[in-house]
Amino acid sequence: MRYIDDLDIIGGGVWSRPGFLVRRLHQIHCALFYEESKYGITPVQYGIMTVLARNPWLDQTAVGYEVGLDRTTVADVIRRLEDKGWVERRTNEQDRRSRLVAITTEGLAVMLEMQAGVERSQRKLLAPLSLKDQRTFLTLLFQVVEANNQYGRATLKVS
């Protein structure tokens, strides 16, 4: 096993670079997620549905803030989810330029059916680590994301 002290981030090749490893981990996460998804839902779509399941009738800007996506991307993802009947949108009566979004009963049913598979994909992703190391990894990952949040394309609400 290699440790960070053994790595030359500049001259050690891509496997010594945090950005490369994070991108590769994301690719692996997506592959594991798709392996478990019967509906072809992306992790981003599932994330938006999760936010809406907890907070119905948010405006699209607030949804983006919850998942760290820009307004245009959120609108596009929500449109695709709406086309499938998993979310619905309506005009915000307080601000006619804004759209409010909620998950539908069908969307909740899809999420419920996917829940065990999503949990399996998360466990599989972290399986190489002991339970203690999983907690440490997630804690450190959260710290890195929180400390660098301002550099993301879109603001992310860190809770």
Residue 72 lies in a domain: yes
Biggest alpha carbon distance in the chain? Answer: 58
User: pLDDT 10s per residue in the chain (159 long)?
Assistant: 455 555 565 666 777 788 899 999 999 999 999 999 888 899 999 999 999 999 999 999 999 999 999 989 999 999 999 999 999 999 988 888 888 999 999 999 999 999 999 999 999 999 999 999 999 999 999 999 999 988 887 767 776
How many structural domains compose the chain? 1
Kindly calculate the radius of gyration of the chain based on its CA atoms and give it in whole angstroms. Answer: 18
Domain that holds residue 50: 41-151
Q: Please, are residues 107 and 45 in contact by the beta-carbon 8 Å criterion? A: no
Classify the C-alpha dihedral 132-66-63-25 as positive or negative.
negative
Residue 28 lies in a domain: no
- Rounded to whole angstroms, the Cα distance separating 153 from 132 reads 32
Residue 3 lies in a domain: no
Query: What is residue 3's predicted lDDT score, i.e. its pLDDT?
Result: 54
pTM for the complete prediction?
A: 0.85
Residue 107 lies in a domain: yes
H or E segment and range at residue 111? helix 105-126
Q: At what angle do helices 60-67 and 43-54 cross, to 10 degrees?
A: 120
Q: How far is CA 56 from each of CA 50, 71, 140, rounded to the nearest angstrom?
A: 10, 18, 31
CATH number, domain containing residue 138? 1.10.10.10
Q: How many beta carbons lie within 10 A of that of residue 145, not counting itself?
A: 14
Residues facing residue 88 across a β-bridge = 102
Residue 156 lies in a domain: no
Residue 83 lies in a domain: yes
Q: Please, are residues 58 and 52 in contact by the beta-carbon 8 Å criterion? A: yes
Q: Which of 86, 100, 74, 75 is nearest to 156 (CA)?
A: 74
Residue 141 lies in a domain: yes
